[in-house]
Amino acid sequence: MRDDEYSMYIPPANFQELVRSARLAWNVTSFWMLGAAAAALAAGIVAYSAALVTYGICTAFEVAASYALVGGVQFRGERIGTEELEARERRAMRLLLWCIGVLVAAVVTIAIWMLITRRQPAPSEAGIALAAATLLAMPALRRWRRRLAAALDSVQLEDDAARTWIWIALAATLLAGLLISRFLGWWWVDLWAGLLMIWWVRNEALDADWRRRTRRDNERRT
């Protein structure tokens, strides 16, 4: 949407109610994921699980990137122009790139520690329960947020809601890694799950950058 189109925007009659609902949806999702990040990091440290630690770091950075994109502006009923949206998307991208760097360092450190101490990750029922609960909750939250974004005609909220697929992918990867390690005894799958999460975050960063460039090119053509 071009800057001049923002001035032509006519809010729906229930605009303030939709804004409150969008704020609630973002808060529910973010607090859920921040709690999941803390729980995953704690469980991962106890169990020496690279997958859980990686998931915790990923989730914390994803919430930070989400806030960088939305930034509270939309939740006050305000609208921003194309340049501000571009700046917010670049900040979110930088956070994701930092996330990838931190994740690589974390997984490599855990792998080296495992080799030195010959200690394998322990089964984590808490981690399995956490991943399963998140995997069940996130699709419903994603649908709720996308409906609100469409009702508000908000590019910011639509992009942010679309990015919740990464939380579903991370939870599915974590759950699969923990279950395989727990029931088949393939402890090395825990490390591979952590590496796969880094790949998911990388793909999300590339996808977000592609959406930003595509939107910018379309606006230039119009």
The total number of residues written for the chain in this structure: 222
The count of structural domains within the chain is 1
User: Whole-angstrom Cα distance, residue 211 to residue 205?
Assistant: 10
* pTM given for the model: 0.79
**What is residue 14's predicted lDDT score, i.e. its pLDDT?**
76
What single letter denotes the amino acid at residue 197? M
Three-state secondary structure along 159-215? HHHHCCHHHHHHHHHHHHHHHHHHHHCCCHHHHHHHHHHHHHHHHHHHHHHHHHHHH
User: Whole-angstrom Cα distance, residue 135 to residue 175?
Assistant: 9
User: Which CA distances in Å does 211 have to 50, 64, 86, 157?
Assistant: 31, 19, 11, 14
User: Whole-angstrom Cα distance, residue 11 to residue 25?
Assistant: 19
**What is residue 24's predicted lDDT score, i.e. its pLDDT?**
87
User: Whole-angstrom Cα distance, residue 148 to residue 158?
Assistant: 8
Other C-beta atoms lying within 10 Å of the C-beta of residue 90:
13
What does the longest C-alpha to C-alpha distance in the chain come to?
64
Please, what is the angle between helix 188-221 and helix 155-162, to 10°?
Answer: 160
- CB under 8 Å to 116, separation ≥6 — which residues? none
User: Whole-angstrom Cα distance, residue 190 to residue 174?
Assistant: 8
**What is residue 62's predicted lDDT score, i.e. its pLDDT?**
80
Q: Which two tokens stand for residue 164?
A: 């919740």
**What is residue 3's predicted lDDT score, i.e. its pLDDT?**
43
What single letter denotes the amino acid at residue 139? P
Runs of H (alpha helix) within 48-164: 50-70, 82-117, 125-152, 155-162
**What is residue 42's predicted lDDT score, i.e. its pLDDT?**
95
pLDDT in tens, the chain (222 residues): 444 444 445 566 677 788 888 888 888 888 999 999 999 999 998 998 889 998 998 888 888 777 776 765 555 545 555 566 666 666 766 766 776 777 777 777 777 777 787 778 888 999 999 999 999 999 998 898 888 888 877 777 777 777 788 889 999 999 999 999 999 989 889 888 988 888 887 777 777 666 666 766 666 666
Expressed as residue numbers, the domain containing 9 is 3-221
What single letter denotes the amino acid at residue 128? I
**What is residue 15's predicted lDDT score, i.e. its pLDDT?**
76
**What is residue 217's predicted lDDT score, i.e. its pLDDT?**
65
78: left (phi over 0), alpha (psi -120 to 50) or beta: beta
